[in-house]
A and B are shown apart, each in its own frame.
Chain A
Amino acid sequence: MSEMRNDLLKTVDRIFDEHCPKPVRESAEAGKWPAALWQALEEVGLTRATLSEEAGGSGIEFEDAMFALRRSAYHGAPVPLAETMLAGRLLAAAGIEVPDGSLTVAPVQTNDQLKFVKDATGASVSGTAHRVPWGNVCGHAMVAGELDGKGMVGLVSTAGAAGSVEKNLAGEPRALLRFERTPLIALAPLEGALSRLETEGALYRSVQMAGALERTLEYSLQYANERIQFGRPIAKFQAIQHMLAVLAGQVAASSAAADAAVEASRRAPDEFAVSVAKSRVGEAAGKGAEIAHQVHGAMGYTREHNLHYSTRRLWAWRDEFGNETYWQSRLGRVVAAQGADALWPMLSRL
């Protein structure tokens, strides 16, 4: 690990240890904004970590930003860090000035479409976006769509836009946002804006799941070593050891897939690598959560134990920005269309 990465690890872990204890996570699920946590993240520049310094960023490399995001997921931090980083990167890519504060992105459902209108009075957005992550909390949204067949991204205030608020399995808010000729603060072209939003979203969720998976392995190892049954720690039973070895394999594979996708996406998301990551990490999420719970027995099924802060996130995130079937099929179609003989050159390029 580089020295820079090590320092970053210490900084982010200190923030999460201090500002993200269990009561904060619980009250966040009840709807209370963890202001101190967010402020601490802003102070060290993490909320603007995907921006270049010219765009008002904090001089953090993309890979380090993704590493910090992964740690936030490891700690189960109940904040829209991924969404803020994602919105910021797309706005900056379109040359739009990125506002302070938390940001979200819309639309995130395949069937939702937002309509842009541009006339003498300015630009506006109309339409409904369902289950927008943290849409009721974030001050601004990065909205993506098309205008005259060209990809566009815009920046809009969410004031007054939020309708009903649902929660995902992890208790994170997913809000309906309704826009009706709502004035855009800015609107600018960005090639393939919608697909870029989808791919980039899948990348961030893959990174987050890799972090949550790491934590499920740690919880499981700790529990297996502490829990005594039949006169010895259950870690000493071969059946448990083999389950944990399989879990470790899923965690290792998910880290490798997420890292590869991050590396390939320094400037813009790499579709092949992200398809691989969301497919592979999503699969590991389900399999890993299953093993972790089996190892924890009834204890892991309680609200009291911390395991669910990781596993409920895994069960929620694997279905956001396209589930495994979606990305696998997409990948499979690309591979089949190019023909069997093109597969190896494609794989060895990574």
Chain B
Amino acid sequence: MHEFRFDPVRMPAATETLRSEVRAFIAEEVARGAFTPSRKSWSSFDPDFSRKCGERGYIGMRWPREYGGHERSALECYVVTEEMLAAGAPVGGHWIADRQSGHQILRYGSDRAKQTILPKIAAGVCFFSIGMSEPDSGSDLAAVRTRATQVEGGWKISGTKVWTSNAHRTNYLIALARTAPKEEDRHAGMTEFIVDLSHPGVSVRPIYNLYGGHDFNEVVFDEYFVADDMILGGVGMGWKMVTGELVFERSGPDRFLSTYQLLLESIRAIGVDPDARSANEIGRFVAHLATLRRMSTSVAGMLERGAQPIVEAALVKDVGTTFEREVPETFRHLIPTEPALGDGASYPELLGMTILRAPGFTIRGGTREILRGMIARGLGLR
């Protein structure tokens, strides 16, 4: 059995200075009306805000200076992220590039990819999408059908990606494609490509979500050229790239702070003298949050030490997203409200928006069922 563990992490003193700086920056932005916390989330796309984060050094924090990074620690990076999320800051523009794509390029990209792309990500002007899922390949990622065929100087990619958040306004995506026919080892023969979305020949069509919003898209490649030096980690290394990337998607504070704004506004609405039931539920959620934060910072600490805590990350996401989904379900009983359609300008709208977004929490980044399967494997059951 894999012995999962959540070693304690001590936040170095430097992180607290940084924390105050981030809080001051966010307070300033809120004060000048740049965003309203309850109306935004970590998936809100706001290029102006991203550019400012870049200027302040809050993107690519762990990367070397030569690529525009700031050579900070994983824990400093964690502090900035959690402060942004807790404040409801619109970090959706640079989110994917900062959280995972950039890390992958830094570790596995060619010199040209590193030199041309990373400084722009760090400056907050270059955004990424994820190119994993396809119409017939969701949880079963190894079933991808997007193909890349070798041509002179590179590869031609054909296929369709779906649920591609923000592809209509990002600059790149990292596409998982099959580069060799399927064999017995279904995880072999796949490769990851950094795909520049600005060239002609790629079509991006909206897929509207259940409340009418346009975040994700269908992206179709037809013989779309990608140069050799835009391969990540080498030909045939796609599965390793994907699983490594997913660790970043599964343990961060984004996996338990998605409904934090609703929790806050609910506490505000209940007031300073809660009845017994409200006090009980608020306390329960705070206990869960404090525990999740401890588990999540612990994974950040392990990432910092170069470990690949796959099972621990899956545990954080499973426990975290279960918590996130309970928040609207509980407060609707405590604050009787008919949830309203809208973007969170009032409590009923915030509740309504959260209810409508909630199904996604336990699907994106690996469904609950896939995660539980991974945990089971870690426990030696498969």
Contact = CB atoms under 8 A, between A and B. Distances in A.
B287 A279 contact: yes
Interface stretch (A44-52, A79-87, A321-329): A321-329
B268 A256 contact: no
Contacts of A328: 279-284, 287
A22 interface: no
B279 A249 contact: no
A347 B6 CA distance: 18
A238 B295 CA distance: 26
B299 to A, nearest CB: 11
Given A221-B381, A340-B265, A248 B315 contact: yes
B339 to A, nearest CB: 20
Interface in A219-238: 221, 224-225, 235-236, 238
Given A236-B381, A245-B376, A248-B4, A279 B283 contact: yes
Interface stretch (A69-77, A93-101, A187-195, A330-338): A330-338
Given A221-B1, A257-B294, A332-B282, A241 B287 contact: no
A329 B293 contact: no
Q: How large is the interface on B (under 10, 10 to 19, 20 to 34, 35 or more residues)?
A: 35 or more
Nearest to B282: A332
Contacts of A279: 283-284, 287
A252 B373 CA distance: 16
Contacts of B82: 348
Interface in B362-382: 369, 371-373, 375-376, 379-382
Contacts of A348: 19, 82-83, 86, 293
Interface in B270-321: 270-274, 276, 278-284, 286-295, 298, 312, 315, 318-319
A347 B379 CA distance: 31
Q: How large is the interface on A (under 10, 10 to 19, 20 to 34, 35 or more residues)?
A: 35 or more
B356 interface: no
Interface in A91-141: none
A194 to B, nearest CB: 21
Contacts of A272: 290
B6 A252 contact: yes
Nearest to B292: A253
Interface in B1-25: 1, 4, 6, 8, 19
Nearest to A284: B291
A277 B286 CA distance: 11
A325 B279 CA distance: 9
B315 A241 contact: no
Q: Pick the most buried of A245, A272, A331: most chain B CB atoms within 10 A of its CB.
A: A245
B375 A248 contact: yes
A124 to B, nearest CB: 38
Q: Pick the most buried of B4, B283, B369: most chain A CB atoms within 10 A of its CB.
A: B283
Contacts of A20: none
Given A336-B271, A344-B86, A241 B280 contact: no
A256 B287 contact: no
A279 B83 CA distance: 25
Contact of B380 (A225, A249, A283): A225
A256 B301 CA distance: 14
B269 to A, nearest CB: 9
Contacts of A257: 287, 290-291, 294
A259 interface: yes
A291 interface: no
A256 B280 contact: no
Contacts of B19: 348
Nearest to A242: B372
Contacts of B87: 344
A260 B382 contact: no
A269 B67 CA distance: 46
Mostly, the A contact residues are helix
B267 interface: yes
A339 interface: yes
Contacts of A332: 274, 278-284, 286
A221 to B, nearest CB: 6
Nearest to B11: A348
Given A255-B6, A256-B6, A279-B284, A336 B270 contact: yes
A302 to B, nearest CB: 24
Contact of B381 (A224, A260, A344): A224
A235 B86 contact: no
Interface in A260-310: 260, 263, 272-273, 275-277, 279-280, 283
Contacts of B375: 244-245, 248-249
Nearest to B15: A348
B264 interface: yes
Nearest to A243: B372
Given A245-B375, A347-B289, A347-B290, A329 B283 contact: yes
B274 A241 contact: no
A348 B282 CA distance: 17
A350 interface: yes
Interface in A141-186: none
B93 to A, nearest CB: 23
A343 interface: yes
Nearest to B372: A245
A246 interface: yes
A324 B288 CA distance: 12
22 contacts: A236-B382, A241-B373, A242-B372, A245-B371, A249-B315, A249-B322, A252-B6, A253-B291, A256-B6, A256-B294, A283-B284, A330-B283, A332-B279, A332-B283, A333-B274, A336-B273, A340-B264, A341-B264, A343-B286, A344-B87, A347-B289, A350-B294
Closest 6 CB pairs of A and B: A332-B283, A328-B283, A332-B279, A331-B283, A241-B376, A332-B282
Interface of A: 221, 224-225, 235-236, 238, 240-242, 244-246, 248-249, 252-253, 255-257, 259-260, 263, 272-273, 275-277, 279-280, 283, 324-325, 327-333, 335-337, 339-341, 343-344, 347-348, 350
Interface of B: 1, 4, 6, 8, 19, 82-83, 86-87, 264-265, 267-268, 270-274, 276, 278-284, 286-295, 298, 312, 315, 318-319, 322, 369, 371-373, 375-376, 379-382
Given A327-B287, A332-B278, A337-B273, 6 more contacts: A248-B379, A253-B288, A328-B281, A331-B286, A335-B282, A340-B264
